C-alpha cells in the first residue's frame, strides 16, 4: 500500500485542506502503519509538554561571575605572554642579525663602533641624497608640492604608527576593568 502523500501530511506541519484532512483520516482508518506513526508522533509531542522544565543548580549567576573573572584573567595573562614572547623574539632576531653580520669578529665595542660607522655612512648618504634632491628641486620647481606632500604624509604615517604602538603597549599593561 502506498503511504504517500499521507506520511508527508503526518510529519509536515502544513495546514491541510479539508479534502486532504478527510483523505488522511480515511487512510488512517485502514492503514495500520500510518496510524501507528501518527499516534506515536502525537504521543511524543504530548510527552514533551508533560516533562518538567530542567532548572540550573542554585547560584548560577554567581558561578557565571566567577567564571567571567577567571576568563578575563586568563585572557590578560595570555595577551601579556604573547606580547612578552613576541618582544623577546624580536629582540633575539635583532641580536642574531647583528651577530650574523659581525660573526667573524664579534665584539660589543667593535659592533657598536661598526654600527656608529654604518649610521654615519648612512647619514652621509642621506645628506648626499638630500643635497641632490635639493638641486633637483631647484631645477624642477613643479615637483616641490608633490615631494612636500609625500614627506608630510610619510612623517604623519610614522607618527601614527609610533603612537599606536605605544598606546597598545600601555593598554596591554593596564589592568582589565572590573565593571561599573
Partner 1 sequence: MTEQETLWIEQARHGNDAAFGFLVEAFQKPIFSLCYRMLGNARDAGDAAQESFIRAYRYIKKYDPDRSFGTWLLSIASHYCIDRIRKRKLATVSMDALPAEIIPDQSAPNPEKEFRREEKEILIQKMLSDLKPIDRAAVVLRYWHDYSEIDIANSLDLTVSAVKSRLYRSRQSLAKAWISSENANSLKERRPYESPAF
**Binding residues for partner 1, per CB under 8 A?**
7-8, 10-13, 36-38, 40-41, 43-45, 47-48, 50-51, 53-57, 60-61, 63-65, 67-68, 71, 177-180
Residue whose CB is less far from partner 1, 11 or 150: 11
Q: Output the smallest distance, CB 70 to partner 1, in A.
A: 10
Contact (CB, 8 A) for 132 and 118: no
Residue 18 CB, shortest distance to partner 1, in Å, is 22
Q: What is the DSSP string of 73-131?
A: HHHHHHHHHHHHHHHHHHHHHHHHHHHHHTGGG--HHHHHHHHHHHHHHHHHHHHHHHH
Q: Which of residues 12 and 92 has its CB atom nearest to partner 1 in the complex?
A: 12
Contacts of 17 (CB under 8 A, 6+ apart): none
Check if the beta carbon of residue 98 is closer than 8 Å to that of residue 111.
yes
Does residue 66 sit in helix, strand or coil?
Answer: helix
> Least CB distance from residue 27 to partner 1, whole Å?
16
| For partner 1, the closer CB: 18 or 54 | 54
Q: Given the complex with partner 1, which of 32 and 138 has the nearer CB atom?
A: 32
- Minimum distance, C-beta of residue 41 to partner 1, in the bound complex (Å): 4
Amino acid at each position: 500500500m502506498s503511504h504517500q502523500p499521507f506520511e508527508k501530511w503526518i510529519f509536515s506541519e502544513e495546514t491541510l485542506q479539508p479534502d486532504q484532512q478527510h483523505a488522511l483520516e480515511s487512510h488512517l482508518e485502514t492503514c495500520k502503519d500510518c496510524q501507528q506513526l501518527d499516534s506515536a508522533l502525537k504521543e511524543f509531542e504530548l510527552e514533551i509538554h508533560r516533562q518538567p522544565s530542567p532548572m540550573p543548580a542554585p547560584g548560577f549567576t554567581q558561578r557565571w561571575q566567577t567564571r567571567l573573572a577567571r576568563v578575563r584573567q586568563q585572557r590578560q595573562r595570555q595577551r601579556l605572554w604573547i606580547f612578552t614572547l613576541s618582544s623577546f623574539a624580536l629582540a633575539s632576531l635583532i641580536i642574531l642579525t647583528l651577530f650574523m653580520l659581525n660573526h667573524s669578529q664579534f665584539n660589543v665595542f667593535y659592533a657598536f663602533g661598526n654600527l656608529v660607522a654604518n649610521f654615519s655612512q648612512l647619514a652621509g648618504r642621506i645628506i648626499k641624497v638630500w643635497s641632490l634632491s635639493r638641486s633637483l628641486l631647484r631645477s624642477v620647481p613643479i615637483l616641490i608640492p608633490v615631494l612636500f606632500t609625500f614627506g608630510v604624509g610619510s612623517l604623519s604615517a610614522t607618527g601614527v604608527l609610533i603612537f599606536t604602538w605605544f598606546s597598545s603597549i600601555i593598554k596591554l599593561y593596564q589592568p582589565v576593568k572590573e565593571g561599573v
